[in-house]
Amino acid sequence: MKILFLSLRCPYPPHRGDRIRTYNFIKQLSKQHAVTLVYFAESETDIESAKHLKPFCERVECVRFRRSFAFLNTGVHCLSRCPLQLHYWYAPQMQRKINDILAHEQFELIHAHLFRMGQYVAEVEGPAKVLDLCDSLALNLKRRAELESNRWLAKIKLDCTPKRFLVKLEEKRVRRYEVDIMKSFDAGTVVARFDRDYLLQQDNRLDLSIVPMGVDLEYFQPNAAVTSAPVLLFTGTMNYFPNADAVIYFCSEIFPRIRERHSEATFYVVGNHPSEAVKRLEAHDGVIVTGYVPDVRPYFEKASVFVAPLRAGSGIQTKNLEAMAMQVPVVTTSVGAMGLEAEAGKELLVADTPVDFAEHVNQLLNSAPLRDSLAQTARSRIEANYSWEAIGDRLKDVYTQAVHTSKHKAERNQSMKPKT
C-alpha cells in the first residue's frame, strides 16, 4: 500500500515522544508498505536527517519551518475560533508541497500526525485518512489551566498569571476543533484509553482506536551499574510545562523528605531545553540538571529509582516505559500512570501526595529485593505489551479499518448521486 505520512517534526533523531512515535511507526510500516514522508524542518540538522529516514521511505520531503511567519500568522488570527496552534503550524509552502504530491501520485492512505498536520488534508477526498491525535491536547490544556490556577505556583515563583487566560481560551478552541477535524478522517488514534474516553465525551460518534506508545526493547536493555549512593532520575524535554512542573514540585515538596532519610541521595534531571526555573533547581543540595545528553541509558543504568511526579499532561508517559524497560523501579502519580497497562503495587508505585510519594521512594531505597521485584515484573509487562512490533500490528489494523470505511463512504456517496 502507498502511504503519505505527514509528520509535524522530523522523526529523527527519535529523542522525544512525538519523534519516537513517528520514527517507529515509519520503521514498522516500511516492512510492508511504500511510505512517502513529509515533515517540517526546524533546523539544518532536520534537513540533513532525511538521510537517516530514506532507508524506510520511498520518498522523503521537508518544508523549512519559518518561526517568524508562524508568530505573525498566529498574531493575525488571534481572534479566530480555531486553535492558535493551528495557525502557528500553517505554512502555505507546506500546503503547496502536499497538494503537489497528491496531484502527481496515487496514495491509498494518508496518515497525519497531530491535528496540526491534519489541517492540510482535512478536505482531501479519495485516499483513506487516519489522524493520529496521540493524546487529547484539550485535556492536556485543561489540566494545565487547573494547575496554573493553584496558589502553590506562586510559592515556587512560577510566572503563569499572564498565560492562564490564554491557556483556558486555547483549551476551549482545541476541544471544539479536535472533534470537528476527526470527522474529516476515516479513523483516528490516541495513545491511551482516558484520552479516547475524554474525546468520546465530546462526541460519541468519533471512530477512535488506542495505539499506545512503545519501546525499542533492543535499545533499552537493562544493564544496572553499582552505585555507592542512592540516585533518583527524571527524564524528558524540560521546557515542556508538565515536565518542568514535575521536577520543580519534586524538588520543593518531595526530595527534602527523601534527603531526611537518605542524605547522600542525588536527583538527576536529564533532558534538553531546561527552562530557567529548572536550571535554578541546582541550587538545591543533591540536584543535577544535565541539559541535553546524547544517550539517556547511562543515567538509567546508575539510577536506583525513576521518579515521575507528574501533575499535568495527557497520553502515555514514554519516560515511564523506558525506565520499566531498563528495569529501573518507577514511582509516579495517577496522572503519570494514566493509560499505562501496568499493575500499581506490582509493576510500579503510585502516589499523589508529597508524603506518600517520598515514602514510596524511601521504601525502595531501603530494600534492594523490593526494587528488583518491581523492576523485573515491569520489564515483563513492557515485553508483552509495548514492543514496537506489537504496536505496528495495532496500527495496521487501524489502517485496514480506515480503508474499509473510506470505501464504504465512497460507495454511499456514489449511490446518492442523481442518475442521469
**Residue 147, pLDDT score:** 67
* Per-residue cell: 249: 514540585
pLDDT tier at 142, thresholds 50, 70, 90: confident
Tell me how crowded residue 201 is: count the other CB atoms within 10 A of its CB.
Answer: 11
Report how far residue 268's alpha carbon sits from residue 234's, in angstroms, rounded to the nearest whole number: 6
3-state secondary structure of 202: helix
Q: What is the pLDDT of residue 392?
A: 94
DSSP 252: I
Q: What average pLDDT does this structure show over 286-313?
A: 94
Q: Which residue has the higher pLDDT, 312 or 401?
A: 401
In the chain, the percentage of residues whose pLDDT exceeds 90 is 78
Q: How confident is the model at residue 420 (pLDDT cuts 50, 70, 90)?
A: low
Q: What pLDDT shows up at residue 127? A: 97
pLDDT score of 163: 66
**Average pLDDT of 99-128?**
97
Q: To the nearest whole number, what is the mean pLDDT of the chain?
A: 91
* Strand blocks (E) in 47-134: 59-64, 109-113, 128-134
Element (H, E) at 363: helix 354-366
- Ordered structural domains, the chain, with CATH: 2-212+390-416 (3.40.50.2000), 231-385 (3.40.50.2000)
Asked if residue 225 has pLDDT above 90, the reply is no
**Section 243-259 average pLDDT:** 96
The alpha-carbon radius of gyration of the chain (Å, integer) is: 22
Answer yes or no: is pLDDT of 158 > 70.
no
3-state SS, residue 7: strand
Structure confidence at residue 154 (pLDDT): 41
Q: Which residues of 335-353 are buried (b: 16+ CB within 10 A; e: fewer)?
A: bbbbbbebeeeebbbbbee
Is pLDDT above 50 for 141? yes
